[in-house]
Structure 1
Amino acid sequence: MMIIRPITEQDHDALWQIAQMTGVGFSSLQPDPEMVQRKLEWAVNSFRAEKPLEEAYYLFVMEDMETGTVVGVTGIESAVGLKAPWYNYKVNTQVHASRELDVYTRIKTLTLCSDYTGHSELCTLFLTPQYRKSSNGHLLSKCRFLFMATHAPRFNESIIAELRGFCDEEGESPFWEALGRHFFAVDFVEADQQVARGKSFIAELMPRNPIYTNLLPAKAQCVIGQTHPDTMPARKLLEDEGFRYTGYIDIFDGGPVLETQIRDIRAIRDSRHYRVRVHDCLDTDESVWLMANTHFCDFRCIAGQLSFEGLEFVNISQQQAEVLNIRDGDELRVVPLFNPQRHNHR
C-alpha cells in the first residue's frame, strides 16, 4: 500500500536521492545539497508554524508501506511572488495591417509579467521510475487536492502549475538557446542549476519590451507552451481535473503554466466528508477512491476500495484505518480517484 504523508527531517536522505533523479529542467528540486536542505526546512516549518506562513511550502512524500521506502514527492506553495518577483511570459497577439499594401499579419509576442503574484502553486511532483505504474501517479498528484479542500483558508482562490518545458535528447532547450542564452551567456544545464535558486535573476537580464516570436528560430517557436515528454502524463492528469493553459509560459524553458480556480478542481468540488465505520472484513466493488483524513500535521492519504452506508457513513478496512490514523466515527474526505466522465471513455 502507498501512503501520502507530510515530509519530516528524517526524510532528508530520501529527498536527496530523489533530487538526484529529477533531471535537467526540473528546477523545483535539483541535486544541490543546500537547496534540498532549504526545501526540507521550509516544508517542516510550514507544517509546524502556529500561524500559516505568508509563503508556506507543504511538501509530502509517498511511502511504500511494505518496504518503508520513500518513492515520490509532491508539493504545494500557498502563494508565489510575495517575497521575490514571480515572472512569466504572457503570449499575446499583435496585428500588423495595411489597407494600402493589402497586408494583414498576426504575430505572437512574449510580454514579461507578474500576473500570478499571490497565486497558490502545485509544484515538486516526482515519482521514481520503478513506481510509475498502477494508480501511483494519480495518488501522488491528487492527494494535494484533498489537503487543500480540508485546509482551504491556507490557499489562494486561484492556483497554477508551471510545467517543465520541452528539451531535446541532449538536454538542450530550443527556447533557452534562442532567447535566454543571448542575455545570460551559459548553456541550458548551467542555467537550470541557477534557476533552482530562483528565476528573478533571469528576468533582471531579459528585455522588458515585448519579444516578437517570429524573430526566433522555428525550433524555438514550435516549443512555446509545449510540455516535456516526461511531464505529459502530469499535464493530462491536471487537465482532467480542470486545469487549463491560458497563454502564460515559463521564462526559462517556455513550458506552459496551467491554471484554475481551486473550487473548480474536480477532486475538490466532488469530494465529500463521511463518518468512518471500520470493519475486519469488507465487501467492496472495483472502484478506486481517494481518501484522506482531516488532520493537518498528521495528514494521511491513500487510494483504495471502500463501500458506502447511506449518505453519512463510509466503510473501510482495519488496515486502511490504521494507515490513515483514524478510528471508528472519525471524519474521512472521499472522492473517486479518477474523473468518472473522462475515465469511462478510455
Structure 2
Amino acid sequence: MMVVRPIQADDHAALRELARKTGPGFTSLQDNDEQVAAKMESALAAYNPDSIPEEALYLFVMEETDTGEVVGICGIESAVGLSDPWYNYRVGTLVHASRELNVYNQIHTLTISNDHTGYSELCTLFLSPDARHSKQGSLLSKSRFMFMAEFPQRFNEYLIAEMRGYSDDKGVSPFWEGLGRHFFSLDFAEADKLSSMDKVFIAELMPKNTIYTNLLPQSAQDAIGKTHEATTPARKLLESEGMRYTGYIDIFDGGPTLVSRTNDIRAIQESRYVKAHVTDRQPEGELYLVSTTDFRDFRCCMTALDLVGNHVVGLPQNVADALKITEGNTVRVVPMSSGRRF
C-alpha cells in the first residue's frame, strides 16, 4: 500500500537517493548534498502547527507501507518570490505593420517578469522510475491538493506549477543554447544548478530589455512553452485539474508555467468530509483519494471504497492502517479522475 505523508528527519537518506535520479533540468531537487540538506531543514521547520509562516516548503514522500521504502517526493511552496526574486519570461506579441508596404507581422516577445510573486507553487514532484505505474504518479501529485484543501489558510489565492522544459536525449536545452548561454556563458546544467541556490546572479546577468523571439534560432523558438517528455504526463494531469498555460515560461529551459486560482482546482473544490467505516472487504471500481485531517500526521492514500451512506464510506483495513485511522474517524475524499463526481 502506498501512502503520501509529510517528510521526516529520518527520510534524509531516501531524499538524497531520489536526488541522484532526477537528472538535468530538475531544478528543485538536484544531485547536491547542500541543496538536499537545505530542503530537509526548510521542510521540517514548515510543519509547526503553532504558526503559519509567510514562506514555507511543505515536502511529502510516498512510502510503501509494507517495506518502508520511499519511492517519491512532492512539495508545495506556500509563497514564492518574497525573499528571493521569482523570475520568468512573459510571452507577448508586438505587431509591426505598414499599410503603405502592405506588411503586417506579429512578433512574439519575451520580457522578464516577477508577476507570480507571492503565489503558491507546486514543486519537486519526482517518482522513482520503477514506481511509475498503477496511477501512483497521480496519487503523489494530487495528494498535495488534499493537503491544500485541508489547510487553505497556509496558501495563496493563486497557484503555479513550473513544468520542466524540453531538452534532447543528451540533456541539452535548445532554449538555453539559443538565449541563456549568450548572457551567462555557462552550460545549462551548471546554470540550473546555481539557480537553485543563488538567484542573485540571474538578476545581474539576464537581459533587461524585451527579446524578439524571431531573432532566436528556430530550435529555441520551438522550445518555448514545450514540456520535457518525462514531464508531459504531469502537465496533462495538472491541466485535467484546472491549471492552464497562460504565456509564462522558465528563463532557463523555456518550460511552461501553469496557473490557476487555488479554489478552482477540481480536487480541492470537490473534495468533502465523510466518516470512515473500516471493513475487511476489498472494494472494487472507481478509485478515490482519501486523506486525513491531521497537519503533522497528514496522510493520503488511493483506494476504491464502498458508499455506505451520504456521509459514510467503507474503507479496507489496510487503507485504514496506512492512514492511521480507526472506525468513525473523519476523512476527506474525492474521486481520482477529474471526470467523476462523488
- TM above 0.5, yes or no, is yes
Q: Distance in 1 between matches of 2:256 and 2:199?
A: 16
Q: Distance in 2 between matches of 1:173 and 1:341?
A: 38
Determine the structure 2 residue equivalent to 1:250: 250
Equivalences for residues 1-346 of structure 1 within 5 A: 1-48=1-48, 50-279=50-279, 281-282=280-281, 284-340=283-339
Aligned partner letter, 1:21: K
- Aligned to 1:110, the other structure's residue is in SS state strand
Q: Distance in 2 between matches of 1:118 and 1:204?
A: 22
List structure 1 segments (4+ residues) > 2 angstroms apart after TM superposition.
198-201, 281-285
Deviation at 1:196, TM superposition (A): 2.1
Deviation at 1:198, TM superposition (A): 4.1
Q: Distance in 2 between matches of 1:220 and 1:247?
A: 16
Aligned partner letter, 1:324: L
- Aligned to 2:91, the other structure's residue is in SS state strand
Q: Is the 8 A contact 1:282 1:306 kept in 2?
A: no
Q: Distance in 1 between matches of 2:50 and 2:194?
A: 33
- Count of residues in Structure 1 that have an aligned counterpart in Structure 2: 341
- Aligned to 1:259, the other structure's residue is in SS state strand
Normalized against structure 2, the TM-score is what? 0.97
Which 5+ residue runs of structure 2 have no aligned equivalent? Answer: none
- Aligned to 2:47, the other structure's residue is in SS state helix
Q: Distance in 2 between matches of 1:90 and 1:200?
A: 20
Q: Is the 8 A contact 2:49 2:295 kept in 1?
A: no
Deviation at 1:203, TM superposition (A): 3.3
Q: Is the 8 A contact 2:282 2:316 kept in 1?
A: no
Deviation at 1:49, TM superposition (A): 5.6
- Aligned to 1:235, the other structure's residue is in SS state helix
Deviation at 1:282, TM superposition (A): 2.3
Deviation at 1:340, TM superposition (A): 2.1
For 1:57-89, what per-residue CA distance to the aligned partner results, in whole angstroms no more than 9, with x for missing partners? 000000011211000000000000000110110
Deviation at 1:269, TM superposition (A): 1.1
Q: Distance in 2 between matches of 1:282 and 1:256?
A: 44
Q: Distance in 1 between matches of 2:96 and 2:203?
A: 27
Q: Distance in 2 between matches of 1:300 and 1:185?
A: 45
Deviation at 1:215, TM superposition (A): 0.4
Identity %: 55
Q: Distance in 1 between matches of 2:92 and 2:157?
A: 25
Aligned-residue Cα RMSD (Å) equals: 1.3
- Aligned to 2:258, the other structure's residue is in SS state strand
Normalized against structure 1, the TM-score is what? 0.96
Q: Is the 8 A contact 1:241 1:265 kept in 2?
A: yes
Q: Distance in 2 between matches of 1:292 and 1:49?
A: 18
Q: Distance in 1 between matches of 2:49 and 2:340?
A: 39
Deviation at 1:336, TM superposition (A): 0.7
Q: Distance in 2 between matches of 1:46 and 1:21?
A: 25
Q: Distance in 1 between matches of 2:236 and 2:31?
A: 27
Q: Is the 8 A contact 1:86 1:200 kept in 2?
A: no
Aligned partner letter, 1:45: A
Deviation at 1:341, TM superposition (A): 5.6
For 1:105-130, what per-residue CA distance to the aligned partner results, in whole angstroms no more than 9, with x for missing partners? 00000010100000000000000000
Q: Is the 8 A contact 2:84 2:199 kept in 1?
A: no
Deviation at 1:319, TM superposition (A): 2.1
For 1:247-301, what per-residue CA distance to the aligned partner results, in whole angstroms no more than 9, with x for missing partners? 000011110000101111111111110011222x226331111100011000000
- Aligned to 1:48, the other structure's residue is in SS state coil
Q: Distance in 1 between matches of 2:287 and 2:118?
A: 34
